Amino acid sequence: MNKPVTEFDTIAAFRNDFPALKRWTYLDLAGRGILSGTTRAALDAHLDDRMMNGGDKDRFFTLIERTRSRFAQLINADAGDIAYTKNVSDGLNMVATSIGLKAGDNVITCPDLEHPNNVYPWLNLQRLGVEVRMVKPRDYHMPVDDMIARMDARTRCVTASTVSFAPGFRTDVEKLGRACRERGALFLVDAVQSAGVVHMDVRTLPVDAMAVSTQKGLLALYGMGFLYVRREWAEKMQPAYLARFGVDMGEAHEAAMGDTSFKLAAGARRFDLGNYNYAAAAAVDASLAQLLEIGTQRIESHVTTLSHAVAQGFLDMGVPVCGGPPGPHLAGIVTVGNFSANHYGTDEARYDGLYKHLGENQVKLSIRRGMLRFSVHAYNNLEDVNHVLELSRKFLGKR
């Protein structure tokens, strides 16, 4: 009698498809993910076809729509509410420049917890007279209550990362989004550190727009991203740039012009620009299929268990962990040490030494804001965590 497939078996099989794990203990997802053998094979097949046959445009378009649908399924959206971008920054700028912000309007953000690429698009709009209301974090957490308190009748957009890149805490997306809905402001999230790792259902979460890229939790390549826009908002938005794929011409050929009048494509498709990055689509199409097979609820549960083990392990050594004891604030990122503005070192010799020691022992991690950043995905397991903790104990003399 065949043994039933369990959640553990599914995740273990997934792990076995990542050759890099034979070389590295890889805890650097927040920097970039690694490629599975399945994803590499899909990319190779696409490139072989281009090399040997030139490729077939109709098959490329089939790939694009299948991939669009898979990402939509991942976040429980309609495929028509998904646009292609080249990265997170591209998606954020698409929204910033299409919602009709004008002098006297304001946008609310917490720049200390955002990647700079979710700050500069808003600073750029100050030249139009748009006010950027900057709110300070609370103990490294997204200051949701303070952001809500800063909202008024001229607030047009509130933006926040779902999970900060450092220190890696979750944002109360539900509370902040609900406040935006009540006030008619668009709620835009940078979900690059949660997509593919944390379960997200845009039919229930009050998120109006979401930008992601494919090289982190979606486990594919640089140079591609997705933008989700809730239909009610998308239909009111005028893209700053327009190309043929963003125009509704029914079943007409992609090179058809029609007359000089035009109708924007429905939903988020109006943001699609020109030809797509077909190679990157082939890669993420394969990795999305793998993530969907496991399911984001399973992935989130697995990843959270691992991140809690990392945090508790360092706390047990007496090493400071940002956020203290593990709890609901953690997703897949744990930061260790003390906060500073340094991305190239920790400003403390023993943590710089630990970073070097872990690297010399084939552990991949990052330094962000002066702290050691460990980040995990479903391909990691408790053996990875225990190995890193044991190396750290020996180096720090904590046995």
Phi, psi of 75 (to 5 degrees): -110, 10
Model pLDDT, residue 29: 98
β-strand partners of 85: 225
- Helix and strand element counts for the chain (H, E): 12, 12
Q: Are strands 366-368 and 371-375 parallel, antiparallel or unpaired?
A: antiparallel
Write the CA distances from 377 to 27, 138, 192, 303, 332, integer angstroms.
Answer: 8, 27, 13, 6, 7
pLDDT of residue 251: 72
- In the chain, the amino acid numbered 225 is G
Q: What is the pLDDT of residue 21?
A: 98
What's residue 34's pLDDT? 98
Structure tokens at 270: 């109006």
Angle subtended at Cα 366 by Cα 364 and Cα 368, rounded to the nearest 5 degrees: 170
Sequence-distant (≥ 6) Cβ neighbours of residue 3 within 8 angstroms? none
C-alpha count within 13 angstroms, C-beta hemisphere, residue 22: 7
Predicted pLDDT of residue 249: 75
DSSP string, 194-226: TTTTS---TTTS--SEEEEESSSTT---SS-EE
Tokens of 51: 């090399």
Q: How far apart are alpha carbons 34 and 332 in whole angstroms?
A: 15
The residue type found at 235 is E
Residue type, 299: I
Q: Three-class SS of residue 322?
A: coil
pLDDT at 1: 38
Segment holding 155, helix H or strand E: strand 155-161
Complete domains list, the chain, with CATH = 7-36+295-396 (3.90.1150.10), 56-292 (3.40.640.10)
Q: Are 347 and 354 in contact (CB under 8 A)?
A: no
CA nearest 388: which of 6, 79, 13, 24? 24
Q: Report the pLDDT value the prediction gives residue 256, as an integer from 0 to 100.
A: 66
Amino acid at 223: G
Give the 3-state secondary structure of residue 399. coil
Mean pLDDT by 10 residues, the chain (399 residues): 54 96 98 98 98 95 98 98 98 98 98 97 98 97 98 98 97 98 98 98 98 98 98 96 85 68 90 95 98 97 98 97 97 95 88 97 96 98 98 89
Residue-level pLDDT at 254: 66
Q: What is the DSSP letter of 329?
A: T
Please give the structure tokens belonging to residue 140.
């490294």
- Report pTM: 0.95
333-337 β-sheet, strand order: 333-337, 371-375, 366-368
